[in-house]
């Protein structure tokens, strides 16, 4: 049985693309916009032996499976079409026939691409999940790729979180500026205040608070490369008297009685089981009336398992975990913080990812020269797939604003939101 015949046997409806394989077989409309081609036996073995989306990712990242009609820097249209391809499980009789047709050799998994992280159960060599050493390794895997690569993809802001678009045709830089300013306004920042920014990345919020609000800001990040870049940019902009970034675990952040804490894109790395300690830590850092703004990716409900799909866990965010905004709000409340406002910005993240993919496609040759084609393919696949996830409500982005209430109930909070004016 030819490879395309196997795919056709298990396809439920007419394929939305054209599929071809190295054995000369093919099926699907020859004039389809998206052409999926399997180049070799290794790619077949990836597809046949890995669960979920992992086999497809392995074959694509290694170049054994290619998508004609879609740029690898922005395979959004291809992924949208692939999402319409419906398969069924083979019957027991068909499964036996398929094993014979494939042969035992093709049921032995090849070595995965070098960009792939170990499965969770094998990462214990780095420590227990969300231990300090293992968290540091997970952050290193994702964020210490190359500062030059991130500059090409993220643009001048070096902001690697959801932007906020004040209008549909706003530029990415305008939207990232608006995101930082929205956080500042929600936190009620004023000159002379202190801000702790945990998981500060390349220091965008740190610089914004210092430059535009006169706030003394400390940022901490587990990425050595991020800290190095952020410190250089702070010095370049002459903000050393107000802004500082340290290479540190957020749990080691010094000081107390902060006027505000911002956490932009950190909670995804903390682990749901560690939420009580996380929110307890933040409460202890705040003065009475001090505010927290938590900005993170979430599930659309609170019932799904927290662990991500195979591709995201192995290639993008090792040990990452997501849950619904309800769980986040509940844990913040249980830690003694009062939640005053929350909003969902998922459409804004879809737009953000669209811009990032456009940057990757436009700067493809330079990105490949910086990190290699396989890693660049990982990023195109991850960002385009995430864009689809936000558009279809598979994932969301929530900002939760909370406050440490003083004894007696004084939250030092206005009667109506002031950040909307």
Q: Dump pLDDT digits (tens) for 140-178.
A: 555 557 899 999 999 999 999 999 999 999 999 999 999
Q: What is the pLDDT of residue 143?
A: 54
Q: What is the pLDDT of residue 305?
A: 78
Q: What is the pLDDT of residue 221?
A: 96
pLDDT above 70: residue 121: no
Distance CA 285, CA 275 (A): 15
**Rounded mean pLDDT of 66-78?**
94
Residue 125: pLDDT band (50, 70, 90) is low
CATH top-level class of 135-404: alpha beta
What residue ranges of the chain are covered by domains with CATH 3.40.50.150? 135-404
Q: What is the pLDDT of residue 40?
A: 96
Q: Long-range contacts made by residues 238-244, C-beta under 8 angstroms, separation at least 24? A: 239/207, 239/210, 239/211, 242/210, 242/214, 242/215, 242/216, 242/217, 243/203, 243/206, 243/207, 243/209, 243/210, 243/211, 243/217, 243/219, 244/206, 244/217, 244/218, 244/219
- Cβ of 30: how many Cβ atoms within 10 Å? 9
pLDDT above 80: residue 92: yes
Q: What is the pLDDT of residue 122?
A: 60
Q: What is the pLDDT of residue 382?
A: 95
Which segment of 11-15, 45-49, 196-200, 356-360 scores lowest on mean pLDDT? Answer: 11-15
| Structural contact between residues 343 and 398, judged by C-beta atoms closer than 8 angstroms | yes
**What sections of 214-345 are H helices per DSSP?**
224-236, 267-270, 275-285, 310-311, 325-334
For 185-217, write each residue's pLDDT tens digit.
999 999 999 999 999 999 999 999 999 999 999
Which segment of 268-272, 308-312, 374-378 scores lowest on mean pLDDT? Answer: 308-312
């Amino acid at each position: 049985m030819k490879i395309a015949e196997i795919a056709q046997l298990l396809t439920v409806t007419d394929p939305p693309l054209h599929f071809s394989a190295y054995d000369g077989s093919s099926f699907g409309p020859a004039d389809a916009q998206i052409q999926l081609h399997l180049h070799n036996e290794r790619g077949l073995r990836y597809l046949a032996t890995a669960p979920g989306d992992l086999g497809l990712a392995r074959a694509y990242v290694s170049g054994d499976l290619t998508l004609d009609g879609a740029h690898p820097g922005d395979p959004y249209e291809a992924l949208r079409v692939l999402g319409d391809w419906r398969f069924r499980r083979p019957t027991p009789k068909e499964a036996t026939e398929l094993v014979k047709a494939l042969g035992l050799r093709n049921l032995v998994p090849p070595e995965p691409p070098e960009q792939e992280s170990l499965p969770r159960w094998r990462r214990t060599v780095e420590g227990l999940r969300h231990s300090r050493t293992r968290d540091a390794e997970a952050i290193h895997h994702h964020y210490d790729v190359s500062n030059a690569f991130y500059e090409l993809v993220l643009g001048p802001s070096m902001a690697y979180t959801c932007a906020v678009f004040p209008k549909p045709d706003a530029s990415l830089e305008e939207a990232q500026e608006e995101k930082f300013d929205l956080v500042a306004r929600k936190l009620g920042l004023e000159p002379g205040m202190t801000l702790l920014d945990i998981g500060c990345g390349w220091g965008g919020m740190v610089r914004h608070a210092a430059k535009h609000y006169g706030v003394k800001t400390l940022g901490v990040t587990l990425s050595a490369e991020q800290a190095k870049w952020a410190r250089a940019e702070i010095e370049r902009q002459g903000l050393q008297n107000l802004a500082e970034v340290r290479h540190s675990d957020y749990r080691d952040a010094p000081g107390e009685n902060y006027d505000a804490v911002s956490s932009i894109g950190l909670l995804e790395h903390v682990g749901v089981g560690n939420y009580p300690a996380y929110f307890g830590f933040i409460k202890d850092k705040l003065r009475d009336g001090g505010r927290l703004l938590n900005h993170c990716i979430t599930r659309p409900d609170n019932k799904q398992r927290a662990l991500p799909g195979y591709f995201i866990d192995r290639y993008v965010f090792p040990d990452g975990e997501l849950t619904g905004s309800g769980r986040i709000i509940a844990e913040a409340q249980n830690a003694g913080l009062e939640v005053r406002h929350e909003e969902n910005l998922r459409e804004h993240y879809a737009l953000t990812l669209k811009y990032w993919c456009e940057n990757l496609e436009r700067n493809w040759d330079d990105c490949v020269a910086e990190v290699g084609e396989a890693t660049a393919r990982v990023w195109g696949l991850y960002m385009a797939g995430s864009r689809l996830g936000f558009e279809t409500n598979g994932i969301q982005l929530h900002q939760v604003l909370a406050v440490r209430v003083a004894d007696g109930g004084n939250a030092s909070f206005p009667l109506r939101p002031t950040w909307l004016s």
